[in-house]
C-alpha cells in the first residue's frame, strides 16, 4: 500500500513538473509559432525590408479588383488595420470577399503586399446554402 | 478496479460486451455515413467537400481521445501495477495511431479544395502530426519491451506525450492558424442541425467501433499469452 502511494505521488509530481516545463516552453515559443500576422501585428512591428511573411485576415468587402488576366488586388483587414495586397496566379475556390485569407509574400517599397501564394481560411460555421441565404447575402465568388 | 484484475473474469465480461459495441457501432456508423455522404445538405461555402468532416472529425476525436485512454492505462500500469493496464495501452495504441493517420490524410484531402493546400506547418496540423509520432514511438518501444513485462519505457513515454493533448486542443486559440477554431464548444454550436446530426452519429458510431476493437485486441493478446504459456508448459513436460 505504501509503495503504491509513493508511486502515485511520484507520478503526480512528474506530471505537474511536465506541465510546468511545457507551459514555460510554450510561453517562450509565444509568437514564433504563429502561422501568420494580422494587419495590426504588421502595423505594430513592421517586417524587415524584403522579409517574407504571411499576412492573414479577412478580404475586405468590395475591395477585390482584377488587374490584367490573372492579377487580383484586394485589401486584407482585421477590422482595425488594413493592408493592400496584389497577387498574380490562381486563387483558391474559397477566396471570397468577407472570408478569411492568408497571403505569403513581402512588402514592396510603396507599402503594397505582393503575394506569391494565397490560401483561403474558412471559419468554423457550417450550414446549408438556403439557411445562409436567409441569414445574410451569400458573398459573391471571385476568381 | 482490481475486480477485473483476474484475466479470466475480464475475458468473460469482455466477450459478452464486445458484440454490444461492434454491432450498434456498425449500424450507427453506416447510418451516419449514409446521411453524411448522401442525405445531408452541402455547405454554403465549401459545397460537397464539407462531407469529409463526417470522417475527419470522428478520426480526430478518436486519435486524441484514444491517446488520453492510452495515458490513463499507462498511469494505471505505473502506479497500481494493474495486470491488464499495459495490455489495454497496447490495444489502444494501434487503432489510435490509425485514426490519427486517417485524420491527417482526410484533413489533407479536405485542405486542398478549401484552403488551397494539402499541408501547412501551422500549430494545429503540426501538433496532430506529433501525436501520430508519439503513437508510433509508443508502439515501437512497447514492441521492443515485449519480452520484459517489468519494462516501463513505453508507459512513461506515453505519459510524457500527454502534454501534446492540450496543445492540440488549444493550438487554434493560442496561435494564428490556417485551421479554423472549434465549431462546437460548451457555449456555442456553429454547425447547422442537419449537418450536426450525421456528425454526432458518426462520432458515436466510430467510438463504439473503437471500443469494440480495443476489447477484441485485449482478448487477442491475453489469448496469445495463454497459448504461449501452455505450449511452454507442454514442451517442458515432454522434455
- For position B2, what pLDDT does the model report? 63
Asked if ipTM goes beyond 0.90, one says: no
Q: C-alpha grid cell for residue A73?
A: 488586388
Q: Tell me the sheet residues that pair with A114.
A: A86, A106
Q: Are strands A65-66 and A113-121 parallel, antiparallel or unpaired?
A: unpaired
A63: exposed, middle or buried (C-beta count within 10 Å: 0-12, 13-18, 19+)? middle
- For position A14, what pLDDT does the model report? 93
- For position B4, what pLDDT does the model report? 61
B16: exposed, middle or buried (C-beta count within 10 Å: 0-12, 13-18, 19+)? exposed
Q: Report domain B22-39+47-181+189-238's class.
A: mainly alpha
- For position A140, what pLDDT does the model report? 45
- For position B238, what pLDDT does the model report? 85
- For position A134, what pLDDT does the model report? 64
* DSSP annotation of B6: S
Which residues of B are less than 8 Å from A4 in CB distance?
Answer: 79-81
Closest of B90, B92, B103 to residue B130, by C-alpha: B103
Distance (Å) from the alpha carbon of A84 to chain B's nearest alpha carbon = 20
Please indicate if any CB of chain A lies within 8 Å of the CB of B116. Answer: yes
Please indicate if any CB of chain A lies within 8 Å of the CB of B118. Answer: no
The residue of chain A nearest to residue B182, with distances taken between CA atoms, is: A124
Which residues of A are less than 8 Å from B41 in CB distance?
Answer: 128-130
CA distances from B210 to A45, B48, B61 (A): 48, 27, 11
- For position B68, what pLDDT does the model report? 98
Instruction: Report the alpha-carbon distance of residue B135 to residue B65 in Å, rounded.
Output: 12
For chain B, the structural domain boundaries read: 22-39+47-181+189-238
The stretch B124-143 carries a mean pLDDT of: 97
Which residues of A are less than 8 Å from B187 in CB distance?
Answer: none
Task: Indicate if the pLDDT at residue B102 is higher than 60.
Answer: yes
- The radius of gyration of chain A's CA atoms, rounded to the nearest angstrom, is 22
What is the percentage of chain B residues whose pLDDT exceeds 90?
89
* DSSP annotation of B116: S
Q: Select the more confidently predicted residue: B83 or B211.
A: B211
- For position B1, what pLDDT does the model report? 57
The stretch B106-111 carries a mean pLDDT of: 97
Calculate the CA B153 to chain-centre distance. 21
pTM metric for this prediction: 0.92
B46 falls in which pLDDT band (50, 70, 90)? very high
* Beta carbons of B178 and A119 less than 8 Å apart: yes
Chunked into runs of 10 residues, chain A (143 residues) has average pLDDT values of: 87 93 88 90 90 95 89 95 95 92 94 95 92 60 39
The stretch B122-141 carries a mean pLDDT of: 97
SS in 3 state form for chain A?
CHHHHHHHHHHHHHHHHHHHHHHHHHHHHHHHHCCCECHHHHHHCCCCCCCCEEEEEEECCCCCEECCCCEEEEEEECCCCEEEEEEECCCCCCCECCCEEEEEEEECCCCCEEEEEEEEECCCCECCHHHHHHHCCCCCECC
- For position A70, what pLDDT does the model report? 87
- For position A4, what pLDDT does the model report? 87
Share the mean pLDDT of chain B. Answer: 94
A81: exposed, middle or buried (C-beta count within 10 Å: 0-12, 13-18, 19+)? middle
* Contact (Cβ atoms closer than 8 angstroms) between residue B13 and residue B219: no
Residue-wise pLDDT for B59-69, tens only, equals 999 999 999 99
Q: Is A122 marked as binding a ligand?
A: yes
Largest CA distance in chain B: 74
Task: Indicate if the pLDDT at residue B32 is higher than 60.
Answer: yes
Q: C-alpha grid cell for residue B9?
A: 473474469
* Beta carbons of A122 and B115 less than 8 Å apart: yes
* Beta carbons of A122 and B79 less than 8 Å apart: no
Query: How many beta carbons lie within 10 A of that of residue B117, not counting itself?
Result: 16
Helix %, strand %, coil % of chain B (to 5): 80, 0, 20
Instruction: Report the alpha-carbon distance of residue A57 to residue A55 in Å, rounded.
Output: 7
Amino acid at each position: 500500500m505504501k509503495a503504491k502511494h509513493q508511486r502515485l505521488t511520484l507520478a503526480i509530481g512528474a506530471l505537474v513538473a511536465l506541465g510546468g516545463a511545457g507551459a514555460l516552453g510554450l510561453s517562450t515559443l509565444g509568437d514564433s509559432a504563429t502561422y501568420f500576422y494580422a494587419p495590426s501585428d504588421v502595423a505594430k512591428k513592421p517586417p524587415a525590408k524584403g522579409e517574407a511573411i504571411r499576412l492573414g485576415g479577412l478580404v475586405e468587402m468590395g475591395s477585390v479588383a482584377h488587374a490584367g488576366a490573372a492579377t487580383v488586388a484586394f485589401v486584407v483587414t482585421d477590422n482595425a488595420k488594413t493592408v493592400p495586397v496584389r497577387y498574380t496566379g490562381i486563387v483558391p475556390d474559397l477566396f471570397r470577399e468577407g472570408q478569411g485569407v492568408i497571403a505569403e509574400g513581402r512588402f514592396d517599397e510603396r507599402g503594397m503586399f505582393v503575394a506569391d501564394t494565397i490560401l483561403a481560411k474558412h471559419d468554423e460555421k457550417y450550414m446549408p446554402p438556403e439557411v445562409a441565404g436567409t441569414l445574410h447575402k451569400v458573398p459573391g465568388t471571385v476568381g | 478496479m482490481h475486480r477485473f484484475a483476474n484475466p479470466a473474469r475480464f475475458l468473460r465480461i469482455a466477450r459478452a460486451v464486445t458484440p454490444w459495441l461492434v454491432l450498434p457501432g456498425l449500424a450507427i456508423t453506416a447510418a451516419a455515413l449514409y446521411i453524411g455522404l448522401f442525405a445531408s445538405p452541402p455547405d454554403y461555402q465549401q459545397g460537397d467537400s464539407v462531407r469529409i468532416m463526417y470522417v475527419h472529425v470522428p478520426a480526430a476525436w478518436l486519435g486524441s481521445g484514444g491517446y488520453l485512454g492510452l495515458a490513463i492505462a499507462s498511469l494505471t500500469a505505473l502506479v497500481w501495477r494493474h495486470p491488464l493496464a499495459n495490455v489495454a495501452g497496447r490495444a489502444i495504441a494501434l487503432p489510435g495511431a490509425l485514426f490519427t493517420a486517417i485524420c491527417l490524410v482526410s484533413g489533407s484531402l479536405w485542405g486542398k479544395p478549401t484552403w488551397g493546400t494539402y499541408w501547412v506547418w501551422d500549430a494545429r496540423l503540426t501538433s496532430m502530426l506529433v501525436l501520430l509520432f508519439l503513437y508510433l514511438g509508443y508502439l515501437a518501444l512497447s514492441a521492443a519491451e515485449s519480452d520484459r513485462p517489468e519494462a516501463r519505457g513505453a508507459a512513461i513515454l506515453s505519459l510524457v506525450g500527454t502534454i501534446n493533448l492540450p496543445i492540440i486542443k488549444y493550438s487554434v486559440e493560442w496561435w494564428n492558424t490556417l485551421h479554423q477554431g472549434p465549431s462546437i464548444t460548451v457555449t456555442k454550436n456553429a454547425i447547422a442541425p442537419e449537418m450536426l446530426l450525421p456528425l454526432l452519429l458518426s462520432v458515436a458510431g466510430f467510438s463504439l467501433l473503437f471500443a469494440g476493437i480495443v476489447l477484441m485486441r485485449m482478448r487477442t493478446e491475453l489469448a496469445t499469452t495463454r497459448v504461449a504459456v501452455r505450449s511452454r508448459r507442454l514442451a517442458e513436460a515432454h522434455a
